[in-house]
Chains A and B, each alone.
Chain A
């Protein structure tokens, strides 16, 4: 049973077309939810950590939010350079992160 599910698997947007990526989780005792960005051929790069429901974090055109069952990564007026795979991960037992399969975002000009 997947503990971290990301949707959609792939998303195509026009430049300036805002949208949201979803990460739902089923772990109990969440100790942190993480968002990473991964460019082709590269390792994931940290974006945000959220620890409690209602918490929000922002960075440039990205905004991450957290509820008790899911997190959203909102992308406002995206640019082509925002194209990447976005990974969600949760810390359940405190030892390591459990990752979702990712959402691949393509933004065309």
Chain B
């Protein structure tokens, strides 16, 4: 199994509080992605990274920011969480980007009350 660890796996927070989700990989893959998965919407891309300090927006990036200061870590931050950001968040990594296979983490379930 690809070495991907997401933390925390579960979090309950209140509206307006900041939240940071962490994705850590041990595969030294160049590309890292954050997706959210919601019933009726499937997996939607939030942000992705194609190298250290190189990131770009995805389909649903509003309200989210990311940072990648090291190859192995990709952080997703909700500056001020809203109830619409209640979701399951998945991190994925890839050696070749979207041309090849993505390896997914186990997911982080976030509930914003």
Contacts and interface: CB of A to CB of B under 8 A. Distances in A.
B41 interface: yes
Q: For A49, A93, A98, which residue has the most chain B Cβ atoms within 10 angstroms? A: A98
Interface string B18-61: 00000000000000010100001111110010100000101100
B40 A46 contact: no
A101 interface: yes
Interface residues of A, number: 23
B57 to A, nearest CB: 10
Interface stretch (A37-45, A52-60, A62-70): A37-45
A96 B43 contact: no
Interface of A: 31-32, 34, 41-46, 49, 87, 89, 91, 93-102
Interface of B: 33, 35, 40-45, 48, 50, 56, 58-59, 90, 92, 97-107
